[in-house]
Structure formats: C-alpha cells, structure tokens
Amino acid sequence: MDFHLGKKQKAIRDISRKFATEVVAPRAEDIERTGEHPYEVVAQMADLGMMGIPFPEKYGGGGGDWVSMHLCIEELSRADTLLGAILDVTTSVVGQELLIFGTEEQKQKWLIPIAQGKELGAFGMTEPDAGSDAAAIKTTAVLKGEDWVINGSKQFITNTGLDNTSIVIITAKTERESDGKTIICTILVPKDAPGFKVGQKYEKMAQRGTATHELFFDDCRVPRDFLLGDINRGFAQHLAVLQTGRISIGALTTGLAQACFDEAIAFIRQGSQGNQSLFTSQRVPFKLADMAMRIELSRTMYLKAAWLKDQGESHTLEAHFAKLYGSETATRIAAEVLKIFSPYGYLDEYPISRYFKQAKLFEIVEGTSEIQRLVIARGLL
C-alpha cells in the first residue's frame, strides 16, 4: 500500500495546476459568458501533451498512466470544468476506444491526431428516446456495397461542430448478416461524411462553452472499414470505455468541489471582518470541515479507480463510486458555498455562481445517479 504519487504523476499534476491557474482560470468567466469554445487554451493543452497522457508514444501519446491523466483532469476542472469535459470525451472515451478497438489503420488516421491534441473526437450515443436507456437507440446503419448508410439522430453530443472535431463515434443498430438479428455496432463518422449534419448548438443552463449539438444522419455514408471493433460488440465496447469516463467525471467533479471550497476559504480569509466572523463561530467552520473531508474522499475514490485501471484490475464498482460520489459531492458543496457567500455569490462576477450551475450537470451526464446506483446494486448480488 502506497498513497504517494510517483515522480511523473506529481510533475503532471503540478504542470496541470500551473497551467490551470495561470492560463485557464483568468479566462473561465469569459468562456462561460460568451459560450465560445476556447480554441487557444485547448491548443496550449495540446502543446503540453495533455490529450495523450495515457496513450503509447507510438500513437502520439505520452506513455503515461491513467492516474496522471485524471490528476490533470482534476486540476484543469478546478479552473474550468469545460476542459475536464473535453479531456474526458477526447481521451478517456474516444481516444481510448480507438486505442483498444481500432485497427492499426484507424489508429494511425484518427488516434494520433487526437492524442496529439490536434483534433478532438466525440461520441454519440444519446438520442431523444434513448437517454438512460442507451440501448433504445433508433439510429440505423445498413451496409450497402462498400458503404455504411446511416439514418437517425443523436442529441446532447459534446465536442461536436468544432473546427477541429475529426470524428464522432456513434452507436447504431444494424442487422447481423448471418441471422438477421438486430445488434448495436459502433461506427466512426468523420465530420465531412456526406449526409452528416451538425444541428444548432444547445443553450444550456451553464457549461456554455462546451460545444454540444444535435447530430443528424440523413443517408449518411461512410466507408465499410469505418466500423470500430467487433460488429457484435459495439455497445459493450462503448460501455467499456465509458467506465473510464466515469473515473474522469469523478476527477472533474473533485476539481469542481475543490474550486468551490477554495472560493469559500478565500472569501473568509480575504474578506472584511464580517466575513472573518463567519469563522469565529461554528456553523461555517463545521461545514468547511465536512467539505474538506468529502473532497478528500472523492479524490481518493477516483485515484483508486484509476490506479486499479492502471494495474489492469477490475474497477467497475470503483468507477461508479467515483462518478456518483464525486458528482453528488460537487453539487452539494456548490450549494453550501453559495450560502456562505450569500447574497453576493449569486452574482455572475463570483465564480461560485458558475460552479453552482455547472455542478448539477455532472449528476446527469455519462449516466445519471440512478444508473450509477442501478449498476452498483447489480454488482453487489
């Protein structure tokens, strides 16, 4: 048992923290207000090698581990969860799915630019009638000659419609040739595929800088060899990498909860006597004590899940714990800190107002809290 970070892990955490503090934090309010994707910040992340941390060097990665990756996600999210979300989708889900299930050709073509951060990937699973019930998708893919012909739509898809979005990995229903049975496969859809259209950007309560769109496939054609992995196991493949996505949301929400906590401490330290008096009684200090404890537990949970993954061990439950505990902790802490700041914290110029609105999102995305509990409970019996 050793809870110390390794030298490389520590270095990645420290670089991420420095970058988050110096480059990201000053821009976070602006990004939220304008809702514009921060191309320049993301390009700097790419230069630092952040999108490729856990990937082998031969595929443009840094040859690091998933613990390091998640330390980076936590630190960036502490300044802006938007960047944690970009890393989650790009690296933990899309990049990893290509790494594990892609052909050598697919890795060369799509993974390398993603690992280098030159391009971003997206994954399209959710549909209007397939949210928590992700297998209820209606999008179809039919093999016609040398092409897949895709019809349907996807919604709430993050990392789409950007200048450098290269591909969307979608789930689609198809008929198995051998027995005609309906199965779910995953297919790579490049942004310029004919018949593929990106809809309007969603207007969200917060996290407005995230590029989230509806996607339309109208006789969209992609070459036959853009199928990813085993045609029979598309859904399972996708769920396998989403397991890492859960660890990522755990890290992201740990960063968010830490950011809320940082604000509370700064408010009490730097504020006037009125603020400091908050610390001379017990209500607020006891709350802060609980917050510090929960953040540490949240952090320890995602790190354990990431560590297990690095060891090649099963970590299904731990990933669910990290996502569920992290997201619920962040939402709770954001609301509590908002109260400490009351009434000023409600104003846009105070970061806590942003954190409060952002936090709720993470109890919903990549599996609602109910889905997390459902899967955890199933694993217990």
Partner 1 sequence: MDFSLTKEQKDIQKAAREFARGEFDPDVALGLEKEGQYPFEIWKRACELGFIGMHFPERCGGQDLGLLENVLVVEEFCRKHSGIGMALGLSSYGSEMILRFGNDDQRQRYLPSVTKGEHASSLAYLEKDQGNDFTSFKTTAVKKGNGYLVNGKKSFVVNSTLPGPIILVCQLTNTTSHGEKVALIVEKDTGGLLSFPMGGRVGMRMVPLASLTFNNLEVSHESLIGDEGQGHFQLINVLNEMNIEAAAIGTGVAQGAFDLALEYARQREQFGQKIGSFEAIRDRLADMDTRIEIARLLTYKSAWSFGRNDGSPKVNYMAKMVSADTALEVARDSLHIFGGYGYMVENQIEQFYRDASMVDIIGMPGQTEKSLIADQIIGKI
Which residue ranges make up the site for partner 1 (CB under 8 A)? Answer: 33, 126, 129, 131-133, 136, 155-156, 202-205, 271-275, 277-278, 283, 331, 335, 338-339, 342-344, 346-349, 353, 356-357, 360-361, 363-365, 368-370, 373
Which CB sits closer to partner 1, 29 or 310? 29
**Cβ pair 257, 326 in contact under 8 A:** yes
Q: d(Cα 201, Cα 160) in Å, to the nearest integer?
A: 9
Tokens 């989650």 belong to 88
Tokens 């995602």 belong to 302
Which CB sits closer to partner 1, 180 or 274? 274
Which CB sits closer to partner 1, 129 or 230? 129
Which CB sits closer to partner 1, 132 or 311? 132
**Cβ pair 112, 46 in contact under 8 A:** no
Which residues fall within 8 angstroms of residue 86, CB to CB, at 6 or more apart? 42, 45, 120, 159, 210
**Cβ pair 79, 203 in contact under 8 A:** no
Q: Say whether 177 is catalytic.
A: no
Which CB sits closer to partner 1, 236 or 347? 347
- Write down the least CB distance from residue 32 to partner 1, Å: 10
Q: Cis ω on the peptide bond leading into residue 128 (within 30° of 0)?
A: no
**Long-range CB pairs of 112-116, under 8 A, 24+ apart, other chains included:** 112/59, 112/60, 113/60, 113/166, 114/51, 114/52, 114/60, 114/90, 114/166, 115/51, 115/52, 115/55, 115/59, 115/60, 115/61, 115/91, 116/46, 116/51, 116/52, 116/60
Q: d(Cα 75, Cα 97) in Å, to the nearest integer?
A: 24
Which CB sits closer to partner 1, 127 or 147? 127
Q: d(Cα 93, Cα 172) in Å, to the nearest integer?
A: 17
What value, to the nearest 5°, has the Cα angle with vertex 243 and ends 227 and 364?
A: 105
From 104, 127, 366, 370, active-site residue: 366
Which CB sits closer to partner 1, 90 or 353? 353
In the chain, what is the greatest distance between 2 CA atoms, to the nearest angstrom? 76
End-to-end CA distance of the chain: 28
Tokens 């105070």 belong to 350
Residues with a catalytic annotation lie at 366
